[in-house]
Amino acid sequence: MDAAISGNLIDLCVVAMLLLSMLAMTTTRIAQLLNAFAVQSLFLTFLALVVADSTGHTELFILGGITFAVKVIGIPWAMRRISVRLHAGREVDSTMGIPGSLLICTILIIVAYLVTEPLMATLETITRNCLAMSMSVILIGLFMMVTRRKAMAEAVGLLMMENGLFLGVISISYGMPLVVEIGIFFDVLMVSAIIGIFALRISKAFDSIDTSVLRRLKE
């Protein structure tokens, strides 16, 4: 592929991932949240494939395939099932309004750029520019976990952070060794399973998966 065009494709994928993170910040429905996550993972898959194709790192093909299977299809499907079983309602409420959280997201992006800028200058990968974006995706994922009340949404925030991490690894060194990556995937699967189970237990105990009621445990 032409280097300029693959560079453009990488840029588009990475910006789409960032946009989907921001979309996830603004959405109020659990289904939309899961869709956003799935599409974000799809772009991640695509990005891995483009990088693999243009740099010749063939193990990225495998990673892309696993990402597709696990994050685009597996986890969203499982979480959708869980949310149906929970009868938790379709709404995910946030402690902050949409305009405010969008503005904070943009500030986080600027911070991420200012922080990663010296590192990016030293990298030599074709994906080095993605580092700032991956940092932003991580920060926004964390911010989502801060503002969202429902356990489900917090899980999605965590998963998005993991996407950002994967992106960062790709941008620094075209991915970690295959074994480590697969290990991380299992971790993610475990985490989502655990969160799912937790959410079920919480909803049984409190009739709600609103994590702010966990505060009552203190007493």
Partner 1 sequence: MIDLVLSVIQAIMMIALAPLFAGILNKAKARMQHRAGSSIFQPYRDVAKLMRKSENISESSSWLFRFIPYVCFGSMLLLSLMTPFFSAYVAAPYGDLISMVYIFTLYRFMMVLGGLEGGSVFGGMGGSREMMMSVLIEPSLLLSLMALAGLTGGSTMIGDIPRELIGMGAIVLTPALVLAASSFFITLLAENSRVPFDNPATHLELTMVHEGMLIEYSGRGLGLMDLSSMMRLMIFSSMFCTMFFPWGIALTASPSAVLIGLASILIKVLLVTLAIALIESYLAKYRLFRLPNLLTASFALSLLAMISLYIL
Partner 2 sequence: MYDGLYLSLMLIPAAVGMAVGIIPSGYSRRIAVFLCGVSAFFGVLAYPLYIYGGEITFTFPLFSAWGPYSILMDELSSMIISISSVVFLTVIAHMVRSPSAPADGRYSALVCALFISCILTMCADTVILLLMAWEAVTLSTFLMASGRDHTAAWKFLVIAHIGGLMVISGFLVMMHYAGGHVLSSWSDLGVTMGPLVSCGVVALLFMGFGTKLGLVPFHAWMPDLYASAPTHTSALVSTVSSNVAVLILFKGIFGYIGASDGMYILAIIMMAASSFTAVWSALESLVQTEPKRILAYSSMENMALVLLCFSLGILFSNGGSPGLITVVLIAGLFHTINHSVFKSLMILTVGSVEDCTGETAMEKMGGLAKIMPVFSVMALVAVLSMAAIPPFNGFASEWLMIQSMMGGEGIHVTEILLPLGVAVLGISGMMAAVSYARLYGFMFLGRPRSEKNVSAKVDTATFVPMSVLAILCLGMGIFYSQITERLAVGVAAATSIPSDGPFLDNLSGTLNMPLLAGILLTIVFAVYALNRIFRKKSARSPTWDCGTPLDENMQYSSVGFSQPLVRVFHPLYGDVIEALDGDSSDKRKKYSIRFAEPFVEHLYVPLGNLLMRGAKQVGRTQNGNIQTYFGYILAVLVVLLVAVRFI
Q: Based on the shown chain and the rule CB under 8 A, indicate whether residue 117 belongs to the binding site for partner 2.
A: yes
**Distance, CA of 28 to CA of 198 (rounded, Å):** 22
- 113 scored as a contact of partner 2 (CB under 8 A): yes
Among 110, 119, 197, 205, which residue sits at the site for partner 2 (rule: CB under 8 A)? Answer: 110
Q: Which does 11 bind (CB under 5 to 8 A by kind): partner 2, partner 1, none?
A: partner 1
The residue from 6, 26, 32, 208 that contacts partner 1 (CB under 8 A) is 26
Query: What would the x/- binding string for partner 2 be over residues 169 to 208, using CB under 8 A?
Result: ----------------------------------------
Q: Taking CB under 8 A as the rule, does residue 114 contact partner 2? A: yes
Count other C-beta atoms under 10 Å from residue 200's C-beta.
15
114 binding partner (options partner 2, partner 1, none; Cβ < 5 to 8 Å by kind): partner 2
Using the minimum distance from each CB to partner 2, give the nearer residue, 56 or 99.
99
DSSP string, the chain: --HHHHHHHHHHHHHHHHHHHHHHHH--BHHHHHHHHHHHHHHHHHHHHHHHHHH--THHHHHHHHHIIIIIIIHHHHHHHHHHHHT--SB--BSS-HHHHHHHHHHHHHHHHHHHHHHHHH--STTTTHHHHHHHHHHHHHHHHHHB-BHHHHHHHHHHHHHHHHHHHHHHHS---HHHHHHHHHHHHHHHHHHHHHHHHHHHHHSS-BGGGGGGGG-
6 binds partner 1 (CB under 8 A): no
Of 47 and 112, CB closest to partner 2: 112
List residues binding partner 1 (CB under 8 A).
2, 4-5, 8, 11-12, 14-16, 18-19, 22, 26, 97-99, 102-103, 105-106, 109-110, 113, 129, 132-133
List residues binding partner 2 (CB under 8 A).
99-100, 110, 113-114, 117
